A and B are shown apart, each in its own frame.
Chain A
Amino acid sequence: MELKTVGIPRGMLYYRYETLWKTFFEKLGAEIRVSDSTTHRIAERGMSLTIDEACLSIKVYFGHVNELIGKCDYIFIPRICNFGRNRDMCPRFHAMYDVARNMFRNSGQKFLTCNIDVLGGEGELKAFLSLGQSLGCSVKSTLGAYKAAKKEEQRVWKKKVQKQKRLLEKDVLKILIAGHDYLIEDSFIGKPITDFLKKSGVLPISAGIVDRDTALKRSVDMSPTCKWQLNREIIGGIGMYKNKIDGIIFLSAFPCGPDAMVNELMLRRIDGLPMLNLILDGQNGTAGTETRLESFLDIIRFKRGLL
């Protein structure tokens, strides 16, 4: 088989599916090219390409897509609609592939996609089989690659959750960060915040790193009609971790629709914990955020009698 380069933009679901995607494409013999960590330049480029009103995360994402244009045979952008009833994705993930196609249609770049819409009869396995087909691989090798990738994904995820559990047992100040992984782990958006917390002697815990099935069940107690898979995992995580932490930071990107609503509800429903609603809009300079974080930490320390 002819070796193909598949480009993966480092943004949005990359943080969720890094292992799955990389292993899958590697097993099929494709060369993978992931865009570099977000820099100011990449973010800036994304902002100028995207419609003004779109959320910061998607702007950064298209900045990454732009980085890969012309540098690989395919750029991989999946379309994910839902994982079943009441397990929807934000409409942004329904549209991402088509938006990219329209945005970069004059570049001649080819895009690779797969469709996950469980309610519409398109599950993950079917999606990956179609991916293999688009790359010209046999069903057998695709299936093998998918199974291996899935196994690897589960292994890595379990390890991550285990590590989180150990962190939770530590006797230091712990702040739960309720936000999407593509925000928290992004070097331009969320990293400065977790870095600042660590520097201040506080342990940041990500609410989304959690046993996902349990979190989904738990989320129903927190908010019965919440239908967004990613938000359900996060609020389920809040429910599971809230007795082991000292405060919550709700981290969202301006103007993320689901977060705006879910976080508002959580702020109204959770009692007895210091909470900070931090909305990031990709401005330069972290001084403003740092001031807010400092005073938030002061409140927590004061509460615990450490100040």
Chain B
Amino acid sequence: MNELKKPKKKVAFPRYANYNAPIRYLLENGLGVRCILPPRLTHRTLEIGAKYSPDFVCTPFKILLGNMIEALEEGADTLVMVYGICKLGYYGELQEQILRDLGYDFDFVNLSEYDTGKVKDLFKATKYVNPQVKFRKVLKTLLEAVKMTDYIDEVTSEYYQNCGFETKKGAYKKAYQTFISNMYSANSKDEIERAYKKVRQAFSQIPISKPSQPLRVGVVGEFYTAMDQFSNFDVELKLAEMGVEIHRWMNVSNMFLHYPGEKNLNVRVKEFTTYQMGPTSTANIRSAKEYAERGFDGVIHVKSANCTPEIDVMPVLQNISADYKMPILYLTYDAQTSDVGLMTRLEAFYDMIYMRKKVVK
């Protein structure tokens, strides 16, 4: 009865790679609210975001802010923001203030306010979004959403490793996009599993012609920009299509689900760092070192402008590059809206590693 009296909240979380699918799944099926999917990220998003943001905050802040405005335009009445160890922990409060100053009217769930070190307090946030929420149901859907995230990361990883070598152009992309859109519409565990099986089958049937020793490039970088195709101008696809196998360890499920723990990860890069240098530093340094040890042809370091932890990783990457004689391309993304410059750099990088491979081999 209560539900009839009070309309469901229309909750939105700004776009973040393909992870809005599990977020939507959790919000709609677990918390029982309506999820408003903000529009896809476009140049407009970045432009309005940059317009209202402080100049030298990191770029994801601007993109998220722009997308929040777009979500409010789409009819959302509640916005959710997460927190993290770096500047991310402060995103929410500043974004809320900027939006309020602009005159928008909305409820804001800033998870940073609930961060007391106890999971119990985080659960209070779900109570705020929907007072009738059942803890067991949230937990069950959360586990399913986590599984979905895991599948998305696994499929994405395979997609970028192979899509550059398909003989029928566009086959991988088509299967991948069908899978992603299935994830966005899934409402039960069965639907998730079915879509996953379908894409696995589809991938296995796509004919590929891969040389015995293909060019391999590893991607490391910042937690938002390295994964979000809009933010990095889909650098992985651009390079893959030149005929390169792309590997990226950095994703949500590897960082939270399969993370071996800071200490155990750090032990493998002891010669370079003693301590954790920032939230994703050890993971990136370890990945870069591992790619080097496996004889990769190059690594691309992807980050947004002004990302402090990743700037500090760069001197270490430079040393790894020197020690293992492996080229590293450093890409910094600011509020630019053209990918022509990026394309030129990628082509030059590709030519270099291609020629190098011929000589070294």
Contacts and interface: CB of A to CB of B under 8 A. Distances in A.
Contacts, number: 119
A264 interface: yes
A53 B87 CA distance: 16
Interface in A111-128: 113, 115
Given A94-B276, A97-B274, A97-B275, A255 B56 contact: yes
Interface string A286-305: 00000000000000000000
B92 A225 contact: yes
Interface string B191-224: 0000000000000000000000000000000000
A219 to B, nearest CB: 12
Contacts of B116: 85
B314 interface: yes
Contacts of A95: 275, 277-278, 281, 309, 312-313
B314 A261 contact: no
B110 interface: yes
A265 B93 contact: yes
Contacts of A202: none
Interface string A257-296: 1101111110011000000000000000000000000000
Interface in B229-267: none
A260 B55 contact: yes
Contacts of A226: 90, 93
Contacts of B272: 98, 102
B274 A113 contact: yes
A91 interface: yes
B306 interface: yes
B316 interface: yes
Interface in A94-141: 94-95, 97-99, 101-103, 105, 113, 115
A95 B305 CA distance: 18
Given A91-B279, A268-B97, A99 B312 contact: yes
B54 A264 contact: yes
Interface in B152-183: none
A53 B311 contact: yes
B113 A225 contact: yes
Contacts of A227: 89-90, 112
A102 B279 CA distance: 19
B113 A102 contact: no
A40 interface: no
B315 interface: yes
A224 B56 CA distance: 22
Chain A contact-residue range equals 35 or more
B360 interface: no
Chain B contact-residue range equals 35 or more
B308 A92 contact: yes
Contacts of B319: 102, 105
Contacts of B85: 88, 91
Contacts of A101: 273-274
A91 B57 contact: no
Contacts of A260: 54-57, 306
Interface in A60-99: 79, 81, 85, 88, 90-92, 94-95, 97-99
A306 interface: no
A51 B315 contact: yes
A99 B54 contact: no
A254 B93 contact: no
A223 interface: yes
B139 interface: no
B143 interface: no
Nearest to B281: A95
Contacts of A148: none
A91 B308 contact: yes
Given A257-B58, A260-B55, A261-B90, A94 B306 contact: no
A54 interface: yes
B86 interface: yes
A156 B101 CA distance: 42
B103 interface: no
Contacts of B131: none
Nearest to A277: B54
A227 B93 CA distance: 11
Contacts of A254: 56
A79 B275 contact: yes
Interface of B: 54-58, 61, 83, 85-87, 89-90, 92-94, 97-98, 101, 110, 112-113, 116-117, 272-279, 281, 305-306, 308-309, 311-316, 318-319, 332
17 contacts: A51-B315, A53-B305, A90-B308, A91-B86, A94-B275, A94-B309, A98-B274, A99-B277, A99-B315, A101-B273, A223-B93, A225-B83, A226-B90, A226-B93, A257-B308, A265-B93, A265-B94
Given A95-B312, A227-B112, 6 more contacts: A51-B314, A79-B275, A102-B272, A228-B90, A258-B87, A258-B90
The 6 closest A-B pairs by CB, nearest first: A95-B277, A255-B56, A95-B312, A91-B278, A264-B54, A98-B273
